[in-house]
Amino acid sequence: MTTTNHELQDLLDNNKRWAAETEAGEPGFFSRLLKQQTPQYLWIGCADSRVPANELVDLLPGELFVHRNVANVVVHSDLNCLSVMQFAVDQLQVRHIIIVGHSNCGGVVAALKDLRVGLVDNWLRHVQDVRNVHQEWLDTLPGASRVNALCELNVLHQARNACHTTVVQDAWARGQPVVIHGWVYGLHNGLLNDLAMTVDDASAVEPSFRRALAALKARYPAPGAPA
Ligand SMILES: [Zn+2]
């Protein structure tokens, strides 16, 4: 127990310093947050430690509602993700839901290559479903491109799943403005790329998905091109 506390002391010290600096920079910061949170954005991203939501978009506590899981999957039966989405949309009235994948995602690699890792294999079946839909196209790509191509395909499919949830469908039906987005983060350069899967209406889901999918595929080498 003593060893554990010692190992974590740095984190607690960091926290004290961060809280003091934040309060000094903006007096009353925490007491204002205590009263309410009014984030405009829900971030659904990968659990990967290299993709910390708030830091990447330079937002403060209170400005970004966050849900993360392995490989940023939105599953219709995942009560955890759906509950986060419902609270964000119905209670917090967020205006944007952003599905954020990232390059070289370990979950996507495992799904692409049928690696057996453990319990997570079952979760990654959802990413394999995406792979299987696009297997023929993925097979035309040079091996090195396949992982990142599937990372991006996965974002588009999960963004479409988000559009199809009862939470988002109900919001649109009652005229509440909610926009779904698909982004991918480059681990190699720290930049977020908008995959242009931007949907604000039930009738726009499939056209937007098809446009974004065509644009995605156009960014990769055509079949037969030199690797
Ligand atoms: Zn990941």
Write out pLDDT tens, residues 168-183. 999 999 999 999 999 9
Domain 37-219, CATH homologous superfamily name and number: Carbonic anhydrase (3.40.1050.10)
Angle between helix 205-218 and 143-164 (nearest 10): 170
Domain boundaries, the chain: 7-36, 37-219
Is this prediction's pTM over 0.85? yes
Residue 81 in marked binding region: no
Distance 61 CA to ligand 1 centre (A): 23
Contacts of 124 (CB under 8 A, 6+ apart): 70, 71, 107, 110, 111, 117
Higher pLDDT, 101 or 223: 101
Confidence bin at 2 (pLDDT 50/70/90): low
Contacts of 49 (CB under 8 A, 6+ apart): none
What's the gap between Cα 177 and its chain centre? 20
Annotation says 81 is catalytic: no
Place of tokens 């057996």: 116
Residue 201 in marked binding region: no
Distance 46 CA to ligand 1 centre (A): 5
Mean pLDDT score of the chain, rounded to an integer?
95
